[in-house]
Amino acid sequence: MKQVSTEKAPAAVGPYSQAIISGNLVYASGQLGLGEGANKDIASQTESAIQNLSEVLNAAGSGLFKVVKTTCFLADIADFAVFNGIYAKYFPQKPARSLVQAAALPKGALVEIEAIAEIN
């Protein structure tokens, strides 16, 4: 196993890695919709979470186009339609996905996305 870390995405907020490479897969930890350009609305936080995820995957030698599975968490399932519209732009390959409403997300985020992706 190899740890992945990049300064282009927010640092882990606990005792875990931004991602781990095992074999030909990268397991990216959940990326929050926080950071540069993110406001307190679901649209900007979804864009930010996907950008953060992209940076972590890129640091691992992968990318959004190599994602095979995502797990997505929304603070409010009522945000599903907006989230889904943005998500679809970045994942045209339609990876497997789970999506649930979470009672709360770290740092008051509205969205968190984790992924499993192939490495080039």
What structural domains and CATH numbers belong to the chain?
2-118 (3.30.1330.40)
pLDDT at 120 over 80: no
Q: What tens digit of pLDDT does each residue of 36-93 get?
A: 667 889 999 999 999 999 999 999 999 999 999 999 999 999 999 999 999 999 999 9
Q: What tens digit of pLDDT does each residue of 11-28 get?
A: 887 899 999 999 999 999
The whole-number pLDDT of residue 90 equals 98
Rounded CA separation 42/31 (Å)? 14
Q: What tens digit of pLDDT does each residue of 105-119 get?
A: 998 999 999 999 999
Alpha helices by DSSP H, listed for 12-95, are: 42-59, 80-90
